[in-house]
Amino acid sequence: MLGGLQRREEGCLSVPGFFEEVERAERIRVSALDKLGNAQIFEAKGLLSVCIQHECDHLEGRLFVDYLSTLKRGQIRKKLAKLARA
């Protein structure tokens, strides 16, 4: 994180039909490997920063709903269970 936070509405195909505001870093610095295996460092801000953080969370086994309150997560779980039974 390079400073500042932002709140944006997020959704995910892993949790279809649900959208909630999530707080994430406004600006980030990312270290990655390109397709040739060379180390690359770049910075991102705004929506691109949110997208990168969202996708990196998937690599760590996290979903955007993990950032929500326990109450909100419970509500979403109940709705998903109801949809699965339908």
Q: Which residues are catalytic?
A: 55
- Among residues 78, 81, 82, 76, the alpha carbon closest in space to that of 64 is found at 76
Q: Kindly give the pairing relationship between strand 3-12 and strand 39-45.
A: unpaired
Distance CA 15, CA 22 (A): 14
Alpha carbon distance 45, 66 (integer Å): 22
